[in-house]
Structure 1
Amino acid sequence: MTAPTGERDELVIAGDEDVVRVRQVVRGFALRAKLSLVDQTKLVTAASELARNAVNYGGGGQAVVELVGNGRRVGVRARFADDGPGISDVELALTDGWTSGSGLGLGLSGARRLVDEFELETEVGRGTAVTITKWAR
């Protein structure tokens, strides 16, 4: 492994300025994990989409960003959670082009394509959590 793991940062996501902060923090972690420029961009884009979803659909939330390792390589894991209404139809929500609002419908499905690991947990009336991981190559 090329970078120390275990470093983490917790961020509140309440508005646009927090989405910008999440992007900055995720980029810093991606640099420390020595992700390529392309993978940095993919991870930051996915994180931005998920942070924006937390604001727009979940009424705000929190993000936890951390350096992780699996014994062979280092990566960045980010978890975005909110206490919003949850997602009633996950399959539909992960379909390209579908949106519950006025967006382009690329947030969840696009984020999933940009990362190596994607996990979505949701419960109607209780909120949503999405965890993404991007590994250094």
Structure 2
Amino acid sequence: MENQSCVKIATEWDIVAARQLGRNAAKELGFGQVDQARITTAISELARNIYLYAGQGQIGIDFLEGNGRKGLKIIAEDNGLGIQDIRKVMEDGFSTSGGLGAGLPGVKRLMDKFEITSEVGVGTKIQAVKWLR
């Protein structure tokens, strides 16, 4: 059951489109309203980061199924400058944009699984999974 939907992120409107895609996918899979909001918020943060720091990239959403569980995987990818210090951006309160700094640590808390890989000068890939309870 892995059919990936994708939204290219290049404008602020693309962030809205990615949120909507995520909410629809979460609803379709049977997530309750609270988890739909968590997933949508995580997508919003990831898409906003792509827009602010990389200029463009994409958000993909996969349906997962295995071991009697169903879930959604969000993949945020860009070819931006990359993240120099992943540990630092994963600290609560850290922000380079003057925002609240809830960004990536917030996404990690909202989701069940969170993985980040980044190479300076190459780009960043973040995968986050939410399992249906």
When the two chains are superposed, the root-mean-square deviation of aligned CA atoms in Å is: 0.9
SS at match of 1:66: strand
Return 127-136 or 65-74, whichever deviates more.
Answer: 65-74
SS at match of 1:95: coil
Identity %: 38
2:96 pairs with 97, 100, 103, which one?
Answer: 100
Spell out, residue by residue over 1:82-108, the C-alpha distance to the aligned partner (whole angstroms, 9 max, x if none).
Answer: 111111111110001001122111110
Deviation at 1:58, TM superposition (A): 1.1
What does residue 59 of structure 2 align with? 63
Paired residue total: 133
How far apart, CA to CA, are the structure 2 residues paired with 1:11 and 1:101? 23
How far apart, CA to CA, are the structure 2 residues paired with 1:32 and 1:117? 20
Spell out, residue by residue over 1:13-50, the C-alpha distance to the aligned partner (whole angstroms, 9 max, x if none).
Answer: 00110000000000111011111211111111011000
Deviation at 1:7, TM superposition (A): 2.5
Deviation at 1:113, TM superposition (A): 0.4
SS at match of 1:57: helix
How far apart, CA to CA, are the structure 1 residues paired with 2:44 and 2:81? 20
What does residue 46 of structure 1 align with? 42
Deviation at 1:71, TM superposition (A): 2.8
How far apart, CA to CA, are the structure 1 residues paired with 2:12 and 2:45? 12
With structure 2 as the length reference, what TM-score do the two structures score?
0.96
With structure 1 as the length reference, what TM-score do the two structures score?
0.93
Structure 1 runs (4+) greater than 2 angstroms displaced:
none
Matches within 5 A, 1:65-104: 65-104=61-100
Segments of 5+ residues of structure 2 without an aligned counterpart are none
How far apart, CA to CA, are the structure 2 residues paired with 1:99 and 1:53? 11
What does residue 117 of structure 1 align with? 113
Segments of 5+ residues of structure 1 without an aligned counterpart are none
Spell out, residue by residue over 1:67-89, the C-alpha distance to the aligned partner (whole angstroms, 9 max, x if none).
Answer: 11113111111100111111111
Letter in 1 for 2:70: V
Letter in 2 for 1:37: Q
How far apart, CA to CA, are the structure 1 residues paired with 2:66 and 2:31? 15
